[in-house]
Amino acid sequence: MAEDLLKKETDDMEELLEDDSQKGMFMTFQTGKELFGISISYVNEIIAMQPIAAIPEVEDYVKGLINLRGKIIPVIDVRVRFKMEPCEYTDRTCIIVIDVKSTMIGLIVERLADVDTIAEDNIAPPPSLGRKEHEHNKYVYGLARTGDTVTLLLDPEKLIRQDDIVAAMEEVRKEEQS
């Protein structure tokens, strides 16, 4: 049943991908109570949950590695990434494989919601509390309103890169000193 659903989603997606106008199209998924959206141009494919090889000593949200037709890609749990309580993986749980600047990464999400077109006008920047330390940590670059629901739009580049950039900067700094 879940497989069928996924297949349908994937087919839908493929149709969409063939279309030139991916602009404004978002893959939405639910994790916890919130609805998240990610621009479809980043999405490579959606696969069912897979056995994951855990890697020791890494951040808790990095769940490990999966084997995607011979390609080894890391997967991260979106809930844990957002510092939410991890949830049980069910047969609705799936992995969204995204490709950000040719880095492939799998996002584990509780369940897929839909593919939505969100008009530019309906996207508002997230309310800022004016606190500086939050500035650099914005995976959510916009809030989209469709009817009663609010979708949090994610910036995948920030989502996957943030910490690494900090770490890389530190490395560079160390290099320079030596």
Partner 1 sequence: MAEEFNTESMLDMFLYESGQLLEKLEGIILEKQDADCFDDADINDIFRVMHTIKGSSGVLMYDNITKATHKLEDVFYYLRESHPDDVPHMELVEKVLAVSDFVTAELDKLRNGDTPDGDEKSLVEDLDEFLGRLKGEITKQGIQMPQANKHVEPTQFYITPVAGEDSHFYRISIHYRSDTQMSNLRAYSATYALKEVAEDLLYTPDDILSNEASSDVIVAEGFHMLLQTKSSKEEVIALIDSSEAEEINFDELSKEEYGRALGEFGREEVEPPAPEPAAAKDNGNKEAKKEGPKPGDYVVKTKEAGKGKTLAKNQPKQQSIISVNVEKMDALMDLIGELVIAEAVVLQNPDLKVPGLELSNFQKASGQLSKITTELQEVIMSMRMMPLTNVFQKMKRIVFDVSRKLGKDIELEVIGENTEVDKNIIEHITDPLMHLVRNSVDHGIEENPEDRTSVGKPAKGKITLEAKNEGGKVYISVKDDGKGLNKEKLYQKALDKGVIENKPMSEFTDKEIFRFITLPGFSTKEEVTEYSGRGVGMDVVVKNIQSISGRLDISSVEFEGSEMTLVIPLTLAIINGIVVQVGNSPFVIETASIKEFVRVGEDSLIHEPSGEEYIVLRGECYPFIRLNERYDLPDSIDKIEEGIIVVLEHEGSQVCVLIDKLLQEQEIVVKPIPSYVRKVKGLSGCTQLGDGSIALILDIAGLLMHDGERR
- How many C-beta neighbours within 10 Å does residue 40 have? 19
* 127 CB-contact burial (10 Å; exposed 0-12 / middle 13-18 / buried 19+): exposed
Footprint (CB under 8 A) of partner 1, residues 74-133: 74, 103-105
- Which of 54, 129 has the CB closer to partner 1? 54
48 binds partner 1 (CB under 8 A): no
In the list 67, 90, 137, 149, the residue contacting partner 1 (rule: CB under 8 A) is: 67
Rounded Cα gap, residues 75 and 73, in angstroms? 7
Closest distance between partner 1 and the C-beta of residue 126, in Å? 25
Of the candidate residues 33, 70, 131, 132, the single one contacting partner 1 (CB under 8 A) = 70
Q: Cα 93 to chain center, whole Å?
A: 13
Of the candidate spans 40-48, 49-57, 115-123, 128-136, the one that interacts with partner 1 by CB under 8 A turns out to be 49-57
| Tokens linked to 64 | 């490990």
Q: Is 72 in the site for partner 1 (CB under 8 A)?
A: yes
Which residue in the block uniquely carries the two structure tokens 């939050």? 134
Task: Name the amino acid, one letter, at 17.
Answer: L
Any idea what the Cα angle at residue 124 is, between residues 127 and 166, rounded to 5°?
A: 60
Binding site for partner 1 (CB under 8 A): 51, 53-59, 62, 64-67, 70, 72-74, 103-105, 160, 164, 167, 177-178
